[in-house]
Amino acid sequence: MQKLIFETKQQLGKAAAKAAAKEIKKAIETKASANIILATGVSQFESLAELVNAEGIDWSKVTMFHLDEYIGLGPDHPASFRKYLNERFVDKVATLKAVHFVNGDTADPQAECDRLNRIITDHPIDLALVGIGENGHLAFNDPPADFDTVRPYIIVSLDENCRKQQLGEGWFEKLNDVPTRAISMSIRQIIKSSCIIASVPDRRKARAVKDALEGPLTNACPASILQNHPNCEIFLDIDSASLLSDKSGRGADQ
């Protein structure tokens, strides 16, 4: 695991997108295709805005999965991650080889998990773009996360801190509007990715960043699992890195 610290979230996003584009192009050059996972949320704004403008990527050879979706929310809801990714990524790049969204408004969430599990099993992931939640979660794997399940997508319950984060970021008008369940990519599926790039700006993430990078590996801080990944880069700004004991790793744009 490597961390890079930048002065601003804009610099963070530019650097993360450059690294992501490099991995995508490398996968295409190596095996004529690339399978990627995209995250959502405020932390990904700058990274995705830069990635859609990256040069030299043949998007027709890229298959996209996404991390999670609320159960019960349709694709037109302002907080829908399908809406988010359509508006910020899918509609802004050339036609992708395939897009595999999580359909959270299905009548049978377990059947949706089963459908996605069959698909992703045949698509080894080359690159995962992720964030870290205020409670240390990866995707919607809130603490204490399941570090053992080998199922790629699972049904999870959202804890109050997670739901408060979604409210605080402005996706919902009140806490009762935030769903209590979601379909999420599992921890073990995320870390199977050949490369992981985590974009984590903002001071409100500082405690989670410190626990994930400098604390013990524990499902009480799900993102701590990234310590064990052999090809993971954590992109921080000075605010999210503010509580770290070790602030080495200044980004190249400094």
When divided into structural domains, the chain yields a total of: 1
Helix (H) or strand (E) holding 98: strand 98-100
- Residue 17 inside a domain? The answer is yes
Residue range 190-206, pLDDT digits in tens: 999 999 999 999 999 99
- Residue 170 inside a domain? The answer is yes
Residue range 22-71, pLDDT digits in tens: 999 999 999 999 999 999 989 999 999 999 999 999 999 999 999 999 99
CATH number at residue 129: 3.40.50.1360
DSSP state letter for 158: P
- Domain span at residue 141? 2-237
What CA–CA distance (Å, rounded) separates 36 from 123?
A: 9
CB 211 within 8 A of CB 165: no
- Residue 186 inside a domain? The answer is yes
Three-class secondary structure of residue 155 per DSSP = strand
Amino acid at 161: N
For the entire predicted model, the pTM comes to 0.95
pLDDT band at 253 (very low <50, low <70, confident <90, very high): very low
